[in-house]
Amino acid sequence: MSEPDTEVVVRATGLVKKFKDFRAVDGLDLVIERGMIYGFLGPNGCGKTTAMRMLTGLLTPTEGSVEVLGLSVPKDAETLKYRIGYMTQTFSLYGDLTVQENLNFMATIYGLTGARRKARIGEVMERYDLTDLKGRFAGKMSGGQRQRLALATAVLHEPQLLFLDEPTSAVDPESRRHFWEQLFDLVDGGTSIVVTTHFMDEAERCHKIAILEAGQKRADGAPKELMAAMGANVVEIEGPNLRDIRRRLLGLDGIMAAAQLGARLRVLVKDDVPDPETFLKEKPETDGATLIERVRPNLEDVFVTATGEGRQ
C-alpha cells in the first residue's frame, strides 16, 4: 500500500446496491481519512444504512469495490469484524440480559479473555456511566442508558474504526450532546468514526460529510467548505404575510428556495445575483416586509441547494 493510503480508512469506488430493480445505492465514491468523524447526511430511504452495511461487510455490493482498513470487503469481512465496531440504528442487544451479561457476551464474541476481558468491561462501564447499572436488564433501561450500553459494546474490543447508524435518533437533546462529546473523546484516542444522521446540527459536528439523496452522493466535504461553495446567499425576511411572500418569491429567477422558520422567511438567492438584499427589497413580491437582511448559511441550506428543491 502506498504511503498516502495509510491515512485512508475507507475507500469505495462505484458502489452500487440493487434490490431487484431498485438502486438503493447508486454509484457511490468515498474516501474517508483516518482520525475523523465522517457523516452520511440524508433523509430516510436515501441509502445511508445500505451504504454503511456494505462498508462493514454485512451486504455484498452489486457493483463497485470497497476497501476498509486495507482489507477488501466483503471478501475479508470476517477479519475486518475484529477491527471495527458497529452500532445499529435500533437497539440490538439482549433485553433479557443485564448490562454485565451483555458485555460479557460481546467480549466472548470478540475473543476477549482473561485479564484484558475483565479490564475492558470495567473500563467501558466506568466511561459510559454503566457501573451502577451493571445488574439492570437492558430491556428495562431508558433510551439514553441503552445508547450508552450499545456504544460500550461497540468499542469493547478497541476498534480502529467505528460505524454508528443514526445512533441518537431515540434519545433526548441532552443525551445527544453528551453522546457527541464521547465520540470526540474516541477520536482523540485514535478511533475513526463513520456516522449516519438526518439531524443537521449533528452533521455540522462532523469533520466531513456526504449528502445523499436517492442513493447518490450530492455533495462531499467539510461543512464549512460546503457552505462556502453552495452557490447561494441566504437572506431572511421579517414581516406580515410571510406565507404570501414565500408563494410569490418561489419560481422567480434567482430564487433557489424559500422556507419559513418561525417569524422569519429564509430565502436562498443564487450567488450570481450581486446584491441579494437589494435584489429582494426591489421586488414587488416582498412588499410589506419590515426587515430584509443577509445571514450566515447553515448546513440545511447546503442540503437544500444540493438536493430536491434546490436542484430543480
CB neighbourhood size of 186 (10 A) = 20
What does the pLDDT read at residue 87?
A: 93
d(CA 135, CA 121): 14
Q: Return all residues near 219 (Cβ < 8 A) that are at least 6 apart.
A: 209, 210, 211, 226, 302, 306
What does the pLDDT read at residue 2?
A: 39
What does the pLDDT read at residue 193?
A: 98
Q: Return all residues near 212 (Cβ < 8 A) that are at least 6 apart.
A: 28, 40, 41, 42, 46, 47, 48, 51, 218
C-alpha cell at 170: 431515540
Percentage helix, strand, coil for the chain under 3-state DSSP, each rounded to 5: 40, 30, 35
* Assigned architecture for domain 3-223: 3-Layer(aba) Sandwich (3.40)
Spatial contact of 206 and 39, defined as CB atoms under 8 Å apart: yes
| Residues in the chain where the model's pLDDT stays below 50 | 1-4, 310, 312
52: amino acid identity, one letter: M
Spatial contact of 12 and 32, defined as CB atoms under 8 Å apart: no
What does the pLDDT read at residue 245?
A: 96
Pairing of strands 192-197, 37-41: parallel
177: amino acid identity, one letter: R
Sheet holding 71-73: strands in order across? 22-33, 8-19, 63-68, 71-73
Cα separation values, 53 from 14, 73, 163, 254, 302, Å: 16, 11, 9, 40, 26
Question: Which tens digit of pLDDT belongs to each residue from 97-143?
Answer: 999 999 999 999 999 999 999 999 999 999 999 999 999 999 999 88
What does the pLDDT read at residue 309?
A: 53
d(CA 68, CA 78): 12
Count of helices and strands (H, E) across the chain: 12, 14
Spatial contact of 125 and 134, defined as CB atoms under 8 Å apart: yes
d(CA 29, CA 12): 5
Strand extents, DSSP E, 61-180:
63-68, 71-73, 84-87, 161-165
Half-sphere exposure of 235 (CA within 13 A, CB side): 28
Distance of CA 53 to the CA centre of its chain: 14
Q: What CATH number was assigned to the domain covering residues 231-296?
A: 3.30.70
CB neighbourhood size of 261 (10 A) = 10
Q: Where are the domains of the chain?
A: 3-223, 231-296
pTM over 0.85: yes
What does the pLDDT read at residue 169?
A: 79
Sheet holding 216-221: strands in order across? 84-87, 161-165, 192-197, 37-41, 208-213, 216-221
Spatial contact of 238 and 291, defined as CB atoms under 8 Å apart: yes
What does the pLDDT read at residue 312?
A: 46
Question: Which tens digit of pLDDT belongs to each residue from 176-202?
Answer: 899 999 999 999 999 999 999 988 989
d(CA 150, CA 2): 35
What does the pLDDT read at residue 6?
A: 62
Spatial contact of 146 and 102, defined as CB atoms under 8 Å apart: no
d(CA 141, CA 143): 7
